[in-house]
Every structure is written in structure tokens, then in C-alpha cells.
Amino acid sequence: MRSYLIRRLPSALLVLLAASFLIFTILRLVPGDPATTLAGPDADAATVAAIRDRLGLDAPLLSQYAHWIGSLLTGDLGPSYAIGGQTADLIGDGLGATTELTVAALLFVVLLGTAFGVLGATSRSRWIRTAVRVTTTTALAVPPFVSGVLLVLLFAVILGVLPPGGRVPFLTAPDLAVQYLVLPALCLALPSAAVLGRYLKDGIERGLAEDYIRTATAAGVAPRRLLWRHALPNALPPVVTLLGMQVGHLLGGAVLVEAIFAWPGLGQLAEQGLQRRDYPVVQDLLLLLVAVFVLVQLLTDLVYAWLDPRIRWE
Amino acid sequence: MTSTTDLLAAGPPPAASKARGRVRGRHPYRSALSTARARTGLVLVGAVVLAGLLAPLLAGHGPTDQSGQSLAALGTPGHPLGTDDLGRDLLSRVLYGIRADLGIIAIAVPLGAVLGCLFALVAAAHPVADTVVQRVFDLLLAFPGLILALAVTAILGPGRVPVVLVIALAEIPAFGRLLRGGILVQREREYVTAARVGGSSGRRVLVRHILPNAADPLIVQIAVSLTVAVFIEGAMSFLGVGVRPPEPTLGAVLSQSMPYLAQAPNFAAGPLVTVTALVLGLSLIAEALNREIRR
């Protein structure tokens, strides 16, 4: 496993490096100068020049890039340009909120996905199987902004049991936090849960058709044990890869869901940062997202090999 | 403007079915599209597309005309779906919103598809080109699509062009990867060797033999991409980087309705129903086509 990691790491770092370069370049292509934005519409040229000087914007681009990478390596991200406060604090807060949302969504994905998969593959009732199929097809097709509006309509407006948007940090008031968390997490989770459910259903159906299941049935193993101990575990490896890919989707989708539910996460921060040309915040944040994405892919491969002993970390 | 249904019903060039030697007399896509699933999809998509095309005839008002009454309820005389917060007729806004979405999608999806396929063809030409193209796709896929949307809009300013561009950028790797995979598979087939032995040039083999056969999954991808396009347009409206107001799109009308959900749920009803019908219809068609291809 160690040798596998050692071989995978350089390429992961290379992707990060390429991404950092791309992020830096794209950000400098954005019209509008942070100093002008920061100084306000009425500022005179001298003020703008002073701000440019303070932020180091007059330095050659390459040295600005080197400065940025240096700040990442030392861990001292410096102050934000426009939003206010330290970049690290802003990103930390956003990351906390987005992680909360993504983890909760992942929980929904696993729970709902397993339910869809197991019910769809093994339920004796045709109605339940049809209901699962219709639900997964719809959940997969409908964009989050439609399901989001529907969820708010149903749970916040009609039933009035959950708040329509906003966030209470989990550590401040857990019970209240959960109420605020349910709808955005569910909205984010639905498409991925449907994908997972479909794969799991196919996997379980294939697994239950295997010869060893027939043998085990003949030997008197209970159907429930067949499902949970044999068919389901064997359907897991491809599902884990899928789940890894879905984590990427969840992070990407979080940007939209945060906008729908006024959830103060990384997506909202990116939006604000781009609008106000806050270079440090935006570039650190984007690189963080790419890094998480790369890390998740790496972990996925490792877990995959762990679940399926036939694959070696070669 | 080619409607979605025409695009999907047209099917692949005849070479595809001939080369596969289908026994059934009917065209494979036609049989896929005559399943109950696909028919439901075609009806849903057809209805939405038709409503969008006929918007000027069906809408009683201009999409940006303001009447005196804001947030009118369903069934108000003259405003069957009611009015929005600025007193604009919701039926008209939804109909013209469909029209705007169709206009964006009709440019963006073909653009992404063509660019993606060109990338794939370049990749097929040389191993080095293949590596480069693959990395380009990886990079496009590694950025969360909506962050890309924010960045593109920050560079270009809001409007139609960035929406079209973001959709096309999202479609490029999808089409490119599919076609590249298809070409790789087909290239090993015996008929390709036969054509080469028969004296066809490399380019002719690629264009006349491999391409028509590798194009099958692309048909499904078109249906999927149309759904993705509706998704991206709406998402960008919600992020506030979509088409510039006051022009209506389905996503814009829906996102404008969010603050008034409790007060006037009918504000959201039109776009909700329309978007759902459109994406559900497209998914059903894609699924039916996919099943046919995998048989």
C-alpha cells in the first residue's frame, strides 16, 4: 500500500500544481483591479496606487505567483483584500459550513441509496419496486433548484416544520442546527442517492443470481443473511468508486445548494470573493476545492482495493 | 431552430445500422423511441418545446410588460398564472422563458458536442495528442462546474454568452470522452482492418467507417446534455450570474419566486412544472435510447 501511495502522490501533486497555475492565471484575466474595487468609486489615483503597493499588485506576475505558493507552504495565508479578516479564518468558516452540509448529504446518500437499492432489488411488491424506480428517475432528472424549491414549499411553507434557509453552527445549538441542515442536505443528496440506488440495485440483482447464492440457499442460509452478508458486500466495490465520484459532485453541487438555501459555505464565499476581486480568498479556496477533489479520488482507490481483496495495491 | 425531438428522432447515419447488421427491419432508434417510456418523454418534451416556439401566439402580454397588479393569484382575469412581484404576467414570462432556454441550449449543446468530437478526432490522430487531450478533459472535469460558471461570468460579465460558454465547456469532455472511447473500440474491429487492406486511406477509414459506428453513444449523450444545459442555465440564474434581467428564463423566473414562496406559491408553479416536464422527458428519452444501444 505504501508503494502504491508513493507512486500516486507525484501525479496528484502535479495536478495541484497545474490547477494552481490555472487558477492564478484565470483570476488575473478577470477584468477589474482589486485595488480600484477596494478603494471605492470616488478614490483618487494616489489612493489606488497606495493600495496597489500595499497589496503587492505591482510586482511581476511570476513573483506574485511565487509569493502565493510560498504563503500556502508556510500556512500563513495573510489578510483578505476586500471581505475583511484573515483569509484562513474566512476559508475555515466556509469550509466548516460546507463540510457540515456535504457530510450530512453523504449520510442521506448512503441511507437513501441503500434503501432504494435494497428495496428495488428485493421487494416482493411490484408497487414498491415501481415507486422506487419512479423516485430514482425523478430524483436523478430534476435539478437541485427544482427539488430545493419543492422541499421549501412542502416542509417550510405548507407543513411549516423546517426553516426555509440559513444556518446555525452545529456546535452552538445542535438541535436547531439539524433543523436548518435537513433541507439543504436532502436537496444536495437526492441525485447522488438515486445514482447509488440504481447501481446497488443492479449489483444486488447480479449478486443474487450467482451460483454461490444458490448453493448457500440450498444449504439453508436465511434469505436476509444472503442479502446482507453475501449479495450486498459483493455489490459494494463499484459502489465505493461511485460514492467517491459523488463526493466530488456533492462539493460541486454544494455551490448551488448554498445559494438556494442561503447557506454560508465555500460556494457563497467564492461568489463574494469573485465579485469583490478578493484574490487571496478566491485562489486559496479554489485550490482547496481541487485538493479535496484529488484527495477523495486517491482515498476512493485505496478503499476500493481494501474492499475487494482481489485488487492489490500494485 | 431544430427541435429536440427532431434531433433525437433523426438517428444515426444509415451506415451505423448496416454495419452492425441488425436483423430487425425497423431502425434501431425508431424502435427505441416507440417504447412507452420514450413516448412519454417525447410528449413531455414536445409539449414544452411547442409552448416555447409558440410563445408569441400564446402569451397575452410581453414578458417584461408590467401591469398594475403585483403577485396576482392563479386565475386572475388576463393573467391565468398570476403575476410576479413586479406585476409581470407569469404565463408570458414562463413561455418566453422556455423560448430563451431553447435558444441558449440550441447553440450551446451543439457547440459543446462539435468541439468535444473535434478534440476526440485530434486525440485519435496521435498518441501524444491523445495524452494532451485527455489531460485537458481531466482539468475541465476537476473544476466544479458552477465555480467555472462563476469564474467565466466574472471575466465576461453576466449575459447570454457566458451561459452558452459554460454549458459548452461542460459538454466538451462528455462528448469528447465518449467518442474517443468509441473510436478506440471500433479501431480494433475486423471491418477496420478489412477496409485498410482494401486500400482505404487512414482518414477515409476514420470518417467513413469508424466514426459512424462510434457515434452511437453520442445520440444518448445529446439527450443527457440537453438536461445538463437546462440545469446549468437554472443554476447560473440562482447564483445570480445568469441571463441579465429583466429577460426571463426558466431558472430566472424560478429564482425570482424564491422570496415569495409563502406569499404567492403560484409564482413558482409555472417554471417548476415546465422544468420538471422538460428534464423528466429528456431523461426518459435518454434512458430508452440507452437501453436500445446496450442490447
Q: What is the pLDDT of residues A138-186, one digit of tens each?
A: 998 899 999 999 999 999 999 989 998 889 888 888 899 999 999 999 9
Q: What is the per-residue pLDDT across A105-118, written as a single tens digit (0 to 9) for each?
A: 999 999 999 999 99
**Residue among B154, B235, B258 whose CB faces A143 most closely:** B235
Q: Residue A188 and residue A193: Cα distance in Å, rounded?
A: 9
Interface of B with A in 120-179 (CB under 8 A): 138-139, 142-147, 150-151, 154-155
**Residue among A29, A252, A293 whose CB faces B146 most closely:** A252
Q: Which residues of B touch A149 (CB under 8 A)?
A: 254, 257-258, 261, 268, 272
Classify burial at B215, counting beta carbons within 10 Å of its beta carbon; exposed 0-12, middle 13-18, buried 19 or more: buried
Check if the beta carbon of residue A149 is closer than 8 Å to that of residue B272.
yes
Q: Which residues of B touch A15 (CB under 8 A)?
A: 138, 142
Interface of B with A in 57-76 (CB under 8 A): none
Whether residues A252 and B231 touch (CB distance < 8 A) is answered with: no
Q: What's the whole-number mean pLDDT along residues A82-88? A: 86
> Which pLDDT value is given to residue A309?
66
- Asked if the model's pLDDT at residue B54 lies above 70, the reply is yes
Query: CA angle, B204 as apex, B203 and B205 as ends, to 5°?
Result: 90
Q: How long, in residues, is chain B?
A: 295
**Chain-centre distance of CA A173, in angstroms?**
24
Q: What's the whole-number mean pLDDT along residues B84-90? A: 92
Q: Which residues of B touch A37 (CB under 8 A)?
A: none
Q: What's the whole-number mean pLDDT along residues B99-123? A: 95
Q: Which of the pair, B111 or B139, is modelled with greater confidence?
A: B111
Q: Which residues of B touch A137 (CB under 8 A)?
A: 280, 283-284, 287
Check if the beta carbon of residue B95 is closer than 8 Å to that of residue B79.
no
Peptide bond into B246 cis (omega under 30): yes
Q: Which of B40, B105, B140, B143 to mutate to test the interface with A (most CBs of A within 10 A)?
A: B143
State in Å, rounded, how far the first CA of chain A is from the last one: 8
- Asked if the model's pLDDT at residue B8 lies above 80, the reply is no
- Asked if the model's pLDDT at residue A86 lies above 70, the reply is yes
Nearest to B259 by CA among A229, A286, A164: A164
Give the residue on B whose Cα is nearest the Cα of A283: B151
> Which pLDDT value is given to residue B21?
44
**Could you give the maximum distance between any two Cα atoms of chain B, in Å?**
76
**Residue among B144, B254, B287 whose CB faces A145 most closely:** B254
> Which pLDDT value is given to residue B207?
83
Give the residue on A whose Cα is nearest the Cα of B226: A141
- Asked if the model's pLDDT at residue A198 lies above 50, the reply is yes
Whether residues B276 and A18 touch (CB distance < 8 A) is answered with: no
> Which pLDDT value is given to residue B27?
64
Classify burial at B158, counting beta carbons within 10 Å of its beta carbon; exposed 0-12, middle 13-18, buried 19 or more: middle
Whether residues B142 and A293 touch (CB distance < 8 A) is answered with: yes
Classify burial at B164, counting beta carbons within 10 Å of its beta carbon; exposed 0-12, middle 13-18, buried 19 or more: buried
Give just the sign of the alpha carbon dihedral A208, A211, A214, A219. negative
Q: What's the whole-number mean pLDDT along residues B161-175? A: 93
pTM over 0.80: yes
- Asked if the model's pLDDT at residue B7 lies above 50, the reply is no
Q: What's the whole-number mean pLDDT along residues B237-253? A: 90
3-state secondary structure of B76: strand
For residue A239, the distance in angstroms to the closest alpha carbon of chain B comes to 20
